[in-house]
Structure 1
Amino acid sequence: MLSCETKYPVMLVHGMGFRDRKIFNYWGRIPKELEKRGCKVFYGNQDANATIHDNAVMLRKSLYNALEKSESEKVNIIAHSKGGIDSRYLISSLKEYNRIASLSTIDAPHNGSETVDFLMKFPDILVKLTGKITDFFMYIQGDRKPDSYRVFHELTTDYMKKFNSENPDIPEVYYQSFGFRMKNPFSDIIMAFPYSVIRLIEHSDTDGLLTERAMRWTNFRGMYTSPERRGISHCDATDLRRRAFSKKKPQNEYEVSDIVDFYVELVSELKEMGL
């Protein structure tokens, strides 16, 4: 059995639209399996739809809490979707790089979304209204500082180009990035519509929300999918359905039969690196 007993604890950082909850864990079966294999797991506990800056400030509080409870000098961050961008800001702009050993991002919009660029061409009043309605539901969900309108803008390619120039990688931190892809719109009924829209606009493989162009960042490890016809969606990447994708064994390094195995291998690699 692979060991996940890393030198530094792992802090899991969720993406947009969700929060860390005990009853319905954003990360499904993943944390329990990592802990079973010796890993100390903590959570980001940032807002679902706050800005990159505001979420990074919240992450800093969670970071300090994790360091205190684990009596460790650093953490390894594993971040999904926009959580990866929040984490990069925490490292570079908030200068917490001395407290972070590594950042592994999963399906993160490092280069912005061309589909969001297209959607932002709709009348601004409509975009603002959508943001306000979203903020209302995020506030009910527990967000302290939801600002969906600004977050929409932060996901554009122009904004992320500026963000990347202002938040370069820090040599002291080990970075790696991963992506997943659906094989067809029926891979995930939740992602079927956005998958079809993105394929129409960007003509590229996608996890239902982002393409490889958006996800690709430092030490990009590739686009992963399942051995079955369904592939792996943006939601599948954090074990939304709490079950394996397939009983078939992966035929190559880019196939994943159970998302839990993917995270076990990721953390096991960090352990072998002395992190």
Structure 2
Amino acid sequence: MLRLFWWTTLMTTIGLAATLITMLAISWPAPWGTAWPVWTAGLTAVIVIESIVFWIGIITVYVTSVQLGLKIRVIGILCGWIPIANLIALRLIIRTVGEEVRFETAKDQLDRARASERICATRHPVLLVHGVFFRDTALLNYWGRIPAELQRNGATIYYGEHQSAASVPDSARELTARIRHIVETTGCGKVNVIAHSKGGLDMRYAIARCGAAPFVASLTTINTPHRGCGFADYLLTNIPLPVQHKVAATYNAAAARLGDTKPDFMAAVHDLTQAGCTRLNAEIGDRAELSGTRGRNAGGDAVPRDAGIRTPQSPHPQFPVPAYGPAAGPADFDPFAGIVCQSVGSKLAHATTGKFPLNFTYPLVKWFDGPNDGLVAQPSFPWGEQFTWLEPNGMRGISHADMIDLNRENIPGFDVREFYVQIVAALKRRGL
């Protein structure tokens, strides 16, 4: 509709201007001839019709577009009454929405073409486990458009439904109870867990210490700080304790009102530090013996790597995975035996390409820990039998929030929904 408005406005403006010039040339200096009422009526009709077309189009776009975003919407409103600027803003809106339509149309065609294959119809259902400071709610899905895409391709989806902020052991106990409930009520036997951020630590503890192991077929961690965040250690060391306690009390009170039964902001934060993760890995073990690390560029192309993370520019391993002590218990006991364990990490290229607050935290994390996703640094990601490293093409990169489609943004060269489809499809191929 807006494209129609753009071109019809352009053509009618040119036509009316040409007619006006011709009339002036013919009738000057007596311009009020019989042609003028006709021209004025035509101009009025054009204004009315184009206004109707414009407002129908702009309202439709503002209401339905996901990719337009707040920034472009505000630009459109502010520039709407400024000549020339309004046309530039309109062109930006048309281009953004046009790219969205093309992308979503291609995605719909792909899903329709493979619908009969049900490539995500795994033997065991998928359990999505959120990270810290979020909850599973019906109004705002933590995982963005990912669950719907997985379901469209045959997956059965459940959510962790644990509290937003708690210690790793407390969250692990909640998740274990949730998994047992799913297994008992559905008879599915096991679940395939995909856990983001701290959720990966929670699930590792649930498997190693809370009895969840018999009910887990696979664990895929997404941008999980398996070795902690050095930036968090720095903040806890340098921010005065009264300030920390005030922030914690404020958060805990708000979380309790939103449904958390026993929120513990400080316990959650301490378990995300390097010191906290060192203790965790010493207790439950750190499956750092990667058997097949892979790298992927933002387009999703796999690049075989060694167990150490390598960059295309250097043949030397970078950021070797630290090895911590084995899990407590019998020497031959491995709570993860028989469970497919894998991990994923990504890199944000620049602070300016991340949404708030990651655009603020990215340079700070980079200063302390090196390449990162805005919150977690590269050395902290690898865990399990296989690690996939997502590298950006160009200047954009892939942030901590991008990996769960939190902003519902179509990132050029990286389709996060399709990335999850392929993760689950691979689990299906393994009979999980």
Q: Do both share a fold (TM > 0.5)?
A: yes
1: CA distance between counterparts of 2:377 and 2:415?
21
The residue correspondences of 1:223-242 to structure 2 (distance < 5 A) are: 223-242=389-408
Instruction: Tell me the alpha carbon deviations over residues 26-82 of structure 1, each in whole angstroms, 9 at most, x when there is no partner.
Output: 111111111111111100000111111221121122212321343211001000000
Match of 2:265 in 1: 148
Residue 95 of structure 1 and its aligned partner are, at CA, apart by 2.1
8 Å CA contact retained: 1:110, 1:217? yes
8 Å CA contact retained: 1:50, 1:143? no
Secondary structure at the aligned position of 1:6 is classed as coil
Residue 220 of structure 1 and its aligned partner are, at CA, apart by 4.3
8 Å CA contact retained: 2:131, 2:195? yes
2: CA distance between counterparts of 1:201 and 1:243?
28
The residue correspondences of 1:118-197 to structure 2 (distance < 5 A) are: 118-122=234-238, 123-168=240-285, 170-190=336-356, 191-197=358-364
Q: Which has the higher helix share?
A: 2
2: CA distance between counterparts of 1:172 and 1:222?
20
Question: Gaps spanning 5+ residues in structure 1: where?
Answer: 249-256
Q: TM-score, normalised by structure 1?
A: 0.91
The residue correspondences of 1:40-119 to structure 2 (distance < 5 A) are: 40-119=156-235
Instruction: Tell me the alpha carbon deviations over residues 195-225 of structure 1, each in whole angstroms, 9 at most, x when there is no partner.
Output: 12111222x1111000111222123423214
Secondary structure at the aligned position of 1:35 is classed as helix
Secondary structure at the aligned position of 1:120 is classed as helix
Question: Gaps spanning 5+ residues in structure 2: where?
Answer: 1-113, 288-335
Q: TM-score, normalised by structure 2?
A: 0.59
Q: Counterpart amino acid of 1:43?
A: Y
**Aligned in 2, Cα 1:241/1:193: closer, same or farther, shift over 3 Å?**
same
Identity %: 34
Q: Counterpart amino acid of 1:241?
A: N
Residue 130 of structure 1 and its aligned partner are, at CA, apart by 2.1
Residue 96 of structure 1 and its aligned partner are, at CA, apart by 1.5
1:200 is aligned, of 342, 367, 373, to 367
Q: Counterpart amino acid of 1:201?
A: F
Residue 98 of structure 1 and its aligned partner are, at CA, apart by 0.7
Larger RCO of the pair (alpha carbons < 8 Å, separation 6+) = 1
Residue 155 of structure 1 and its aligned partner are, at CA, apart by 1.2
Secondary structure at the aligned position of 1:189 is classed as coil
Match of 2:13 in 1: none
Residue 226 of structure 1 and its aligned partner are, at CA, apart by 4.3
Match of 1:253 in 2: none
2: CA distance between counterparts of 1:135 and 1:68?
32
Q: Counterpart amino acid of 2:405?
A: D
Q: Which moved more, 1:147-156 or 1:165-174?
A: 165-174
Instruction: Tell me the alpha carbon deviations over residues 213-271 of structure 1, each in whole angstroms, 9 at most, x when there is no partner.
Output: 1222123423214435211111111111223201x4xxxxxxxx110011001001111
1: CA distance between counterparts of 2:386 and 2:339?
15
2: CA distance between counterparts of 1:219 and 1:134?
36
Matched, 1:243 2:409: yes
Instruction: Tell me the alpha carbon deviations over residues 91-144 of structure 1, each in whole angstroms, 9 at most, x when there is no partner.
Output: 001022111011000011111111111111123332222222221222222211
Equivalent pairs counted in the alignment come to 265
1: CA distance between counterparts of 2:190 and 2:234?
40
